[in-house]
């Protein structure tokens, strides 16, 4: 009996020594280039979603097992709140959760291109005239600072000096994040839309607190009817520190260029369009985080795409 037990023990030891179980071999393996690129894409690709319609106060279900199916013009069963000084909220579909790594496994290579010197054609209120050279510039000559490829919310490519970000779902916002993590800053994005119709909208997302689960932050954007807004996304509800507001500063023609700027110092958020201050608000929900580009289709334009020419930021001490 003892002899059989000894033979059995030896056999078990031999079997275990031949297994390659991740995390149990006592060694740390460096990821190859392909796997590292996949992890970066997972970390930096945003998958939050929301409906663009007029905001209402509505809770969202806890379930995240199904993809959102709300059509852009679905009737609202809830009662629209009266105008108040408090931000209103619009119903949102809960994002589909994906397995995300806890921490970034690698950092994309930073590229920097000098910004042209400010000229007399810039408005006196344009922060660019007084801030000097930016601390970081991406001229979109390649995708070195961004995740590339396709996901269920957006597709992205870099061509002819532009980042081309396309909305894959109607009435759903999607975004891609770059890697810098900022606290106080002035951020400016230059973009255009070859084709744009009612309710198509786009802009910059900033102060996203977690790259590994990019489902929070502020969205400053414009639409193709000449309106701007500042929205706050908490992963379940989209609220409006600044509701959609008309502005003659927005260029709404096809292929027209626009510059969007955000001055963020603590809880003070000041918004600029084409070098002119348009609004400001005090909101301390998010005080630091990453930034990126968002796009949302109103359901009419096929493959609605925003072309980003350049993004720059200046650190504010």
Q: What is the pLDDT of residues 152-188, one digit of tens each?
A: 999 999 999 999 999 999 989 999 999 999 999 999 9
What's the Cα-to-Cα distance from 218 to each of 103, 236, 238, 242, rounded to whole Å?
A: 22, 13, 10, 11
- Alpha-helical (H) ranges within the chain are 2-17, 33-44, 128-131
Q: What is the pLDDT of residues 238-281, one digit of tens each?
A: 999 999 999 999 999 888 999 999 999 999 999 999 999 999 99
Q: How many CA atoms lie within 13 A of 295 on its CB side?
A: 27
What burial letters (b/e) apply to 145-178, b meaning 16+ CB within 10 Å? bbbbeebebbbbebeeebbbbbbbbbbbbbbbbb
Please, what are the domains in the chain? 51-60+86-315 (2.60.120.560)
Q: Is the pLDDT of residue 226 over 80?
A: yes
* CB 187 within 8 Å of CB 204: yes
- What lies within 8 Å, CB to CB, of 315 at 6+ separation is 135, 182, 184, 185
Provide mean pLDDT across the span 211-226: 93
* CB 246 within 8 Å of CB 226: yes
User: If DSSP codes are grouped into helix, strand and coil, which group holds residue 41?
Assistant: helix
Rounded to two decimals, the pTM is 0.66
Cα separation, 162 vs 152, whole angstroms: 21
């Amino acid at each position: 009996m003892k002899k059989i037990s000894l033979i059995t023990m030896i056999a078990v030891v031999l079997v275990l020594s031949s297994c390659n179980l991740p995390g149990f071999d006592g060694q740390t393996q460096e990821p190859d280039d392909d796997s590292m690129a996949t992890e970066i894409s997972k970390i930096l690709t945003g998958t939050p979603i929301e409906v663009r319609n007029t905001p209402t106060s509505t809770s969202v279900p806890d379930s995240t097992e199904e993809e959102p199916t709300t059509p852009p013009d679905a009737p609202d069963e809830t009662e629209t709140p009266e105008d108040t000084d408090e931000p209103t909220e619009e119903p949102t579909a809960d994002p589909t959760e994906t397995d995300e790594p806890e921490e970034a496994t690698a950092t994309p290579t930073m590229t920097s291109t000098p910004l042209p010197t400010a000229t007399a054609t810039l408005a006196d209120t344009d922060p660019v005239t007084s801030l000097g050279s930016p601390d970081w510039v991406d001229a979109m000559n390649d995708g070195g600072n961004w995740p590339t490829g396709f996901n269920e919310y957006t597709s992205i490519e870099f061509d002819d000096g532009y980042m081309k970000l396309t909305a894959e779902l109607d009435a759903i916002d999607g975004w891609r994040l770059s890697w810098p993590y900022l606290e106080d800053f002035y951020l400016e994005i230059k973009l255009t839309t070859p084709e744009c119709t009612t309710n198509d909208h786009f802009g910059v997302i900033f102060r996203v607190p977690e790259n590994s689960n990019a489902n929070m932050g502020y969205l400053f954007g414009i639409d193709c009817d000449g309106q701007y807004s500042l929205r706050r996304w908490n992963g379940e509800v989209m609220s409006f520190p600044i509701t959609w507001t008309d502005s003659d500063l927005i260029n709404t023609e096809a292929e027209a260029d626009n510059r969007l700027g955000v001055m963020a110092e603590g809880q003070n958020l000041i918004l600029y369009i084409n070098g002119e201050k348009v609004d400001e608000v005090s909101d301390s929900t998010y005080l630091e985080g990453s930034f990126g580009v968002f796009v949302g289709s109103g359901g009419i334009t096929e493959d609605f795409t925003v072309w980003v020419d350049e993004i720059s930021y200046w650190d504010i001490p």
